[in-house]
Structure 1
């Protein structure tokens, strides 16, 4: 199945539950960012950086955050951090696998599967036009803004 047609539960920018496909956003550029886990330090910083720059981004793109967390976790994360963009719950890793970001990781010698922090820019037709893999959080939103403004 084409990644544009994969259905995921999510929260809109106001926190309302909806079902989404990336095809829903055709006609708009999309900043699709994958992050490992709600309410962890790096993921919170990245989400807050997107939140704080939303007025500079929304003139040219829609922001969508994706993690394997469920809707309940996303609601808490969204409310606690006052996030103003869409969050998708990729609990079965279908979108993460489609984008090649569901990877084997290692922490303290223990291997596990998880999301490799990555961001993709989709054009108005839903095609990937730019990507950042193994994202370092500091300065990343500035890189995204620089790309969108070129």
Structure 2
């Protein structure tokens, strides 16, 4: 018997090359933006004090967030704001550093480095979250939640006048001072 040739099977169709997914626009930064009303806060401070945005109405406020007392970058930033404090005072501006450290930790930090700026203790994390600076961070391949170094300049009526995110410490206090002169 003669063999009949089997019909050739069609070669499988090659899949069309996948198109790259369109890039998503960068999500807007969390937290208040320039022109927004600044989130209210009331925090215990070093020295057993308390400070709130409501009591500072009518004054420009520099609210700078830093990760941890007595670490190198945070210490330098606090020293730089302390060095510029007299110039902020001439503008009627109040400078407040905020971290999640306790008021007792702030007391030790201020004494050790002779700091002159107020330090707010946000142990509950409500203020760092309302300003959008409690973020996921990464170090040596490990991810964790922490404070993004950021500064908010709040004008005399309680609106955000300027925002600095992912702050590099060198020259930052001077940049904030320059911006505060216009508020």
Corresponding residue of 2:97: 65
Task: State yes or no: 1:112 paired with 2:144.
Answer: yes
Partner secondary structure for residue 49 of structure 2: strand
Question: How large is the RMSD of aligned CA atoms in angstroms?
Answer: 1.2
Corresponding residue of 1:7: 42
1:7 Cα deviation after fit: 2.6
The structure in which a higher percent of residues are strand is 1
Counterparts of 1:89 and 1:104, CA distance in 2: 20
8 A Cα contact 2:78 2:117, kept in partner: no
TM-score, normalised relative to structure 2: 0.76
Task: State yes or no: 1:91 paired with 2:123.
Answer: yes
Corresponding residue of 2:51: 20
1:131 Cα deviation after fit: 0.6
Task: State yes or no: 1:45 paired with 2:76.
Answer: yes
Query: How many matched pairs?
Result: 144
Corresponding residue of 2:16: none
Structure whose alpha-carbon radius of gyration is higher: 2
Partner secondary structure for residue 143 of structure 2: strand
TM-score, normalised relative to structure 1: 0.91
Corresponding residue of 2:170: 138
Structure 1 residue runs of 4+, over 6 Å off? none
Specify every segment of 5 or more residues in structure 2 that has no aligned partner in the other structure, as ranges: 1-37
